[in-house]
Amino acid sequence: MAFDVIMPKLGVDMQEGEILEWKKQEGDVVNEGDILLEIMSDKTNMEIEAEESGVLLKIVHPDGDVVPVTEVIAYIGAEGETVREVAADAKIVAADGQSVSGPIAPAAEQVAQASVSPKEELGADEFDIVVVGGGPAGYYAAIRGAQLGAKVAIVEKFEFGGTCLNVGCIPTKTYLKNAEILDGLKIAAGRGINLASTNYAIDMDKTVEFKNSVVKTLTSGVRGLLKANKVEIINGFGQVNPDKSVVIGDRVIKGRNIILATGSKVSRINIPGIDSQLVLTSDDILDLREIPKSLAVMGGGVVGIELGLVWASYGVDVTVIEMADRIVPAMDREVSLELQKLLTKKGMTIKTGVGVSEIIEANNQLTLKLNNGEEVVAEKALLSIGRVPQLGGLENLNLEMERGRIKVNDYQETSIPGIYAPGDVNGSKMLAHAAYRMGEVAAENAIWGNVRKANLKYTPAAVYTHPEVAMVGLTEEDARAKYGDVLIGKNSFTGNGRAIASNEAHGFVKVIADTKYHEILGVHIIGPAAAEMINEAATIMENELTVDELLRSIHGHPTFSEVMYEAFADVLGEAIHNPPKRK
């Protein structure tokens, strides 16, 4: 399989680039990441890295040529391939306009024609695609396949929407909104809102009822979308076989392609006492009808911190126990420590660098023995140490695995051709929005052949605490490990007009950029609307805008996002609302 090298578009204004020097010559072996050539655009010189490994088969444009952006300038392929073979098998543009690698994907008009052209007749229980699992990856894959004209069936044993919609992101956000409302009540008097009484009570029956109504609205919406796209819905447990048949009870269906979107389940640890009924999973705690006086949270990751904050806002004595040296350790260290400080002020007790060695149940309460000799006593405990792929029904496939996860290639395809596994089940990015993209890509590759890769490099992530936390790209620690010296820009919400007016003047935005081209390597936010603002940062990074280019934009005032703009400006020492940097 061969790939093309194109003149990159380094910024929104770039129309062409000059090839200054090829660093590799025809016939040279090229590894992904090797410097191929140096180009000059209208604003800077830049070295271009190889995106694939192989042999540099042909240089189309030599040193000194000025080439329009996106035009092919060379081919990389397997040793012995001819240029003619390369041209027939090079990177092209898929129907959605995205550049993809591999066999030629259909152009938009070809896709449209294919979607209405006659197909080989399928039997009543035969489908172009059978999707197993109705979570984010699954229902996206099913609808995308149907949009492309495929006959699609989806098999789901419970309810559509998966973990996120039923027992994860969405239910948790309904509870976190309650926590935000309670925070508002606490500051109302200081804003001139005098309540007749500051007494309140939490009605957990109504809380759970409201959460369930939100979930039902969204799951019904997913089911309606599937029906509207003429996807056949099959309720039940699917057992998948290597011949691409799926057994659901007494019914057997078959797919030309299978998409495994079985998702994930709560991870468990094997310690004495873990099976106590007072130890709840993140699934269980969302249906709790009584408020405990105390709660021990085992695991200071995203789920543990979010749910811990919910119960702390209800007046519960919450203790978080995290084995790493800080909470949510995947975040930038500076942001993590700031969040820990703010949550501590809200009344949460956070213990880091320690684990639970034993749980003892007595007198309707738990004693958690920690491996540093301490003990934590609580009425309930929450186990929130992460999730693992759900592999039930896939036992017959003998798929190639990697650390307990289904191994897939860049096209979301498993070790069995024609069987794809997007989403949590492959463990690459266990986030609903990443699963959406992987599901779409899997469906397109099932229909078109393997033509489109799921680029998850700039997938944003968020923690919906109050204040929120969000990130995309590299942390400062990872950036320094990879690039050495980097540029850091920061700006605080403490000086932001809207944040001050909203009683949310805490936190900051942090931007990490490389020193040579001012390429943006990472953006980290702790503060109001962080989960919304991070999408702008992800789009900026996906489109490879530099700090200099970003600063040409204008952000509205007064908005929270002005803080992110000022953080970008601070990378270059140009933030108007920051004190001058020391020379």
Q: What is the pLDDT of residue 42?
A: 65
Residue for token digits 């919609």?
Answer: 165
Query: With 80 as the cut, is the pLDDT of residue 165 above it?
Result: yes
Question: Could you give all domains of the chain from N- to C-terminal order, each with its CATH number?
Answer: 3-90 (2.40.50.100), 121-163+209-265+389-448 (3.50.50.60), 279-385 (3.50.50.60), 461-571 (3.30.390.30)
User: What's the chain's average pLDDT?
Assistant: 90
Tell me what pLDDT residue 129 has: 97
What average pLDDT score do residues 42-65 get? 86
What pLDDT was estimated at residue 307? 96
Average pLDDT over residues 101-126: 54
Tell me what pLDDT residue 445 has: 96
Model confidence pLDDT, tens digit, residues 344-382: 999 999 999 999 999 999 999 999 999 999 999 999 999
Q: Is the pLDDT of residue 504 over 90?
A: yes
pLDDT at site 389: 94
**Nearest 5°: phi and psi at 481?**
-65, -35
Query: Which 3 state secondary structure label does DSSP give 376?
Result: strand
Query: How sure is the predictor about 105, in pLDDT bands with cuts at 50, 70 and 90?
Result: very low
With 80 as the cut, is the pLDDT of residue 55 above it?
Answer: yes
- More confident position, 49 or 82: 49
Residue 78: its pLDDT value, please? 86
pLDDT (tens digit, 9 = 90+) per residue, 436-459?
Answer: 999 999 999 999 999 899 999 999
Q: Report helix angle 432-448 to 136-147, nearest 10.
A: 30
Identify the pLDDT of residue 69: 83
pLDDT for residue 103 is more than 80:
no
Reduced to 3 states, what is the DSSP secondary structure of residue 227?
Answer: helix
| pLDDT tens figures, 313-331 | 999 999 999 999 999 999 9
The DSSP bridge partners found for residue 295 are 318, 380
Active site residue 557: yes
Q: Looking at the predicted structure, is the pLDDT value of residue 245 above 70?
A: yes
pLDDT at 493: 98
Q: What is the pLDDT of residue 168?
A: 84
The pLDDT assigned to 427 comes to 92
DSSP string for 522-545: EEEEEETTHHHHHHHHHHHHHTT-
Residue 527 has pLDDT above 80, yes or no: yes
Q: Which of these ranges, 85-89, 305-309, 485-489, has the smallest mean pLDDT?
A: 85-89
Chain segment 137-149, per-residue pLDDT in tens: 999 999 999 999 9
User: 342 near 332, Cβ under 8 Å?
Assistant: no
With contact defined as beta carbons under 8 Å apart, do 20 and 45 qualify?
Answer: yes
Span of 33-47, 136-150, 249-263, 352-366 with lowest mean pLDDT: 33-47
Question: What is the model's pLDDT at position 87?
Answer: 46
- pLDDT for 118: 46
Residue 113 pLDDT class (50, 70, 90 cuts): very low
Q: What is the pLDDT of residue 13?
A: 64
Question: Three-state secondary structure along 97-130?
Answer: CCEECCCCCCCHHHHHHHHHCCCCCCCCCEEEEE
E strands present in 112-183: 126-132, 152-156
State the burial class of residue 348 (Cβ atoms within 10 Å of its Cβ: 0-12, 13-18, 19+): buried
Q: Categorize the per-residue pLDDT at 167 as very low, low, confident or very high, splitting at 50, 70 and 90.
A: confident
Q: Of 466, 506, 557, 577, which one is the catalytic site residue? A: 557
Lowest mean pLDDT among 98-107, 230-239, 433-442, 573-582: 98-107
